[in-house]
């Protein structure tokens, strides 16, 4: 079957040029050949790591609204221009500003022991002398609700372990306590929340990440414990001890600030008003330098588009690179892009986001109309040199392109091996030395090959059907 998909067929006219079509009818053979050549070449080595190093080493942490955020806008504009992209610009985005200043914790009974923790993004501060109370342990939101009376006047400790998995699925099953634990505990009278870090490592480095305060619920302080410290609490509680903890957070919101989505393009040769979007988020948390999350994604989409730009035969549609603002702490960049480009979204033929670090590719996920299936089957062999030829329907795209999915834009992602990604995610350990160059290059290769093919189809992918445009709400 694969040989058939790559076999030359008779020539057909396409925008005044002769081009043979694949069995799907939408992918010219010349397009498939060039896409596979892109993939083979990039899989052997790219400059993606250069752009990652440049962003992490010259700018560093890039929390929305911070000085690093502003510096990264200038970096992105300068880099896109230096690489020869067209229509380079910064599109304004207003972002929420949250600051972290100081944090500490300790067990005060039955023994006095230090705790390593970090405030969850968006948390309110504790009182000046901290919060002190007995610990009430639960393992899930559901367990908290079933034992709600025990939370009143306590510090709720969510001891929910994230499971390691190549597809990263353990994150989705564990992250609800980070997102919603503070509001749920507050409704039951808790004074504060500690969570076992949502991660898979055994380092004494806590994982931050955003929380969502629910309307109408009191706002109580919330922090993540380093996993060894969460296990310390668990051992004491398992031994039957009544554990009392004090923690102090100096942090909080500081209003709003100006930021930007930074955009650059490779103009299409025949349908320049139609867009294939390659996105990544420019911001990061403040503990590390955001190398895997998401300087790696920025490096991937920059390098993939740069390689397409250098081809002698440009694709029909425009490749648009968007380096989004504020994915980590509010998602304002993705929402504002969709709002600002609302009239143009019907001409967005596809959107792909890179936000999964540097693990090797596992395949391509997709969400589009059902007629996209044979077209993607024709494209898939071109991704084989990167190890990304497997297709996974019912994908979700990525956080920044979710608003585009809501408008029917077909969304895609190169799935990557996430076995070690959550060892470093949202920690001080997210630094350039964690970049796996082979995985980075292979992912870049797959993104470049897919983007070229998607931008050169005879007909664009069928839009996401209305019943699949709303992402399920995670509890």
The catalytic site residues sit at: 327
Report yes or no: 141 and 285 within 8 Å, Cβ to Cβ: no
Q: What confidence tier does 240 reach under pLDDT thresholds 50, 70, 90? A: very high
Q: Which residues contact 17 (CB under 8 A, 6 or more apart)?
A: none
Look at residue 471 in the predicted model and tell me its pLDDT. 74
Which tokens go with 34?
């060039």
Look at residue 24 in the predicted model and tell me its pLDDT. 54
* Of the candidates 452, 450, 442, the residue with the CA atom closest to the CA atom of residue 308: 452
Alpha helices in 227-385 (DSSP H): 227-238, 296-309, 332-340, 372-379
C-alpha to C-alpha distance for 259 and 278, rounded to whole angstroms: 20
> What's 433's DSSP letter?
G
Percentage of the chain modeled with pLDDT above 70: 94
Mean pLDDT to the nearest integer, 347-354: 98
The model's pTM: 0.93
Mean pLDDT to the nearest integer, 214-227: 97
The alpha carbons of the chain give a radius of gyration, in whole angstroms, of 24
* DSSP states of 150-210: GGTTSEEEE--PPPP-TT-HHHHHHTHHHHHHHHHHHHTT-SEEEEE-SSS--SS-----B
Is cis: bond before 294, omega within 30 of 0?
A: yes
Go through the domains of the chain in sequence order and give each one's CATH number.
2-95+256-468 (3.40.630.10), 111-242 (3.50.30.30)
Mean pLDDT to the nearest integer, 70-77: 98
pLDDT in tens, 109-129: 999 999 999 999 999 999 999
Mean model confidence pLDDT for the chain: 94
CA distances from 148 to 41, 108, 140, 144, 191 (A): 58, 24, 12, 5, 13
pLDDT in tens, 410-420: 999 999 999 99
Q: Which residues contact 240 (CB under 8 A, 6 or more apart)?
A: none
Place of tokens 């634990």: 181
Task: Render the burial of 225-256: b for 16+ CB within 10 Å, e for the rest.
Answer: bbbbbbbbbbebbeeeeebbbbbbbebbeeee
pLDDT in tens, 28-56: 999 999 999 999 999 999 999 999 999 99
β-sheet bridge partners, residue 414: 364
pLDDT in tens, 118-167: 999 999 999 999 999 999 999 999 999 999 999 999 999 999 999 999 99
Look at residue 8 in the predicted model and tell me its pLDDT. 31
Q: Which residues contact 93 (CB under 8 A, 6 or more apart)?
A: 258, 259, 260, 261, 325, 326, 332, 333, 336
Q: What confidence tier does 25 reach under pLDDT thresholds 50, 70, 90? A: low
C-alpha to C-alpha distance for 442 and 361, rounded to whole angstroms: 7
Neighbours of 394 (CB within 10 A): 8
Which tokens go with 20?
């043979």
> What's 35's DSSP letter?
H
CA 375, 380, 384: angle at the middle one, nearest 5? 165
Look at residue 26 in the predicted model and tell me its pLDDT. 85
pLDDT in tens, 296-345: 999 999 999 999 999 999 999 999 999 999 999 999 999 999 999 999 99
User: Which contacts of 28-34 are long-range, i.e. CB under 8 A and separated by 24 or more positions?
Assistant: 28/456, 28/458, 30/313, 31/315, 31/452, 31/453, 31/456, 31/457, 32/5, 32/6, 32/378, 32/379, 32/381, 32/382, 32/453, 34/311, 34/313, 34/452, 34/456
Which tokens go with 133?
């109370």
C-alpha to C-alpha distance for 71 and 74, rounded to whole angstroms: 5
CA distances from 84 to 77, 144, 266, 311, 318 (A): 11, 55, 9, 13, 14
Place of tokens 């230090």: 114
C-alpha to C-alpha distance for 419 and 414, rounded to whole angstroms: 15
Percentage of the chain modeled with pLDDT above 90: 93
CA distances from 160 to 156, 175, 196, 246, 414 (A): 12, 9, 6, 21, 29
């Amino acid at each position: 079957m694969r040989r058939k998909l790559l076999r030359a067929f008779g020539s057909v006219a396409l925008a005044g040029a002769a081009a043979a079509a694949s069995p799907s009818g939408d992918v010219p053979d010349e397009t498939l050949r060039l896409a596979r050549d892109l993939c083979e070449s990039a899989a052997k080595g790219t400059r993606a790591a250069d752009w990652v190093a440049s962003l992490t080493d010259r700018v560093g942490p890039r929390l929305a609204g911070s000085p690093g955020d502003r510096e990264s806008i200038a970096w992105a504009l300068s880099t896109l221009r230096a690489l020869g992209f067209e229509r380079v610009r910064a599109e304004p985005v207003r972002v929420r500003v949250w600051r972290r200043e100081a944090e500490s914790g300790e067990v005060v009974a039955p023994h006095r022991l230090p705790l390593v923790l970090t405030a969850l993004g968006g948390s309110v501060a504790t009182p000046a002398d901290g919060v002190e109370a007995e610990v009430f342990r639960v393992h899930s939101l559901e367990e908290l609700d079933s034992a709600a009376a025990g939370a009143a006047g306590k510090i709720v400790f969510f001891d929910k372990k994230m499971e390691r998995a190549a597809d990263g699925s353990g994150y989705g099953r564990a992250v609800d306590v980070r997102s919603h634990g503070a509001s749920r505990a507050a409704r039951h009278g808790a004074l504060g929340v500690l969570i076992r870090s949502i991660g898979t490592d055994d380092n004494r480095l806590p994982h931050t990440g955003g929380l969502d305060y629910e309307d109408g619920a009191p706002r109580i302080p919330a922090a993540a414990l380093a996993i060894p410290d969460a296990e310390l609490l668990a051992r004491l509680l398992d031994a039957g001890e009544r554990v009392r903890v004090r923690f102090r957070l100096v942090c909080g919101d500081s209003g709003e600030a100006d930021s930007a989505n930074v955009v650059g393009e490779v103009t299409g040769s025949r349908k320049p008003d139609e867009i294939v979007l390659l996105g990544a988020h420019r911001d990061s948390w403040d503990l590390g330098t955001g190398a895997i999350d998401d300087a790696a994604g920025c490096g991937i989409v920059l390098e993939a588009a740069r390689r397409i730009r250098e081809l002698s035969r440009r694709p029909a549609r425009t490749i648009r690179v968007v380096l989004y603002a504020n994915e980590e702490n509010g998602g304002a960049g993705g929402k504002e892009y969709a709002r600002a480009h609302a009239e143009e979204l019907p001409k967005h033929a596809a959107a792909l986001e890179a936000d999964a670090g540097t693990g090797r590719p596992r395949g391509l996920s997709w969400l589009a109309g059902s007629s996209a299936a044979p077209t993607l089957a024709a494209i898939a062999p071109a991704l084989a040199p990167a190890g990304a030829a497997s297709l996974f329907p019912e994908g979700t795209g990525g956080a920044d392109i979710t608003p585009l999915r809501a408008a029917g834009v077909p969304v895609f992602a190169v799935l990557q091996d996430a076995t070690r990604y959550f060892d470093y995610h949202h920690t001080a350990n997210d630094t350039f030395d964690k970049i796996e160059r082979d995985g980075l290059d292979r992912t870049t290769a797959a993104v470049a090959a897919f983007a070229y093919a998607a931008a050169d189809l005879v007909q664009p992918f069928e839009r996401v059907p209305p019943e699949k445009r709303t992402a399920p709400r995670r509890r």
